[in-house]
Amino acid sequence: MTFKKSVKTQIEKAEHEIDDCTEAKEVLDNAIKCGFLFDKHSLICQEWIKEYNHRMEYLKNFLEGARNG
C-alpha cells in the first residue's frame, strides 16, 4: 500500500528545495562575477541560473496553492 505525502510534508520539501535553489544560484552568480571562468562556461552557468529560477517559480506557485487550497 502506498501513501500520499501529507500537504505539510510537501510544503516543507518545497521550502527546502527553494533554499537549495537559492544557494545554488548564489554560488553560480559568484563564480560568474569573479571573472575567472571561460566565457562559454559563464554562459552555461547563466543557463543553469535560469533553470533554478524556473524551478523556484514553479515551487512558489505550488506553495501558494498548497497554502491557500
Indicate the pTM of the whole model: 0.86
Here the cell at position 65 is 496553492
Burial environment of residue 7 by CB neighbours within 10 A (0 to 12, 13 to 18, 19 or more): exposed
Has residue 3 got a pLDDT over 90? no
What does the pLDDT read at residue 69? 74
Q: Nearest 5°: CA angle at 15, between 14 and 19? A: 115
pLDDT above 70 (res 1): no
Average pLDDT over residues 47-69: 96
How does the average pLDDT of the chain come out, rounded? 94
- 19-49 pLDDT per residue, tens: 999 999 999 999 999 999 999 999 999 999 9
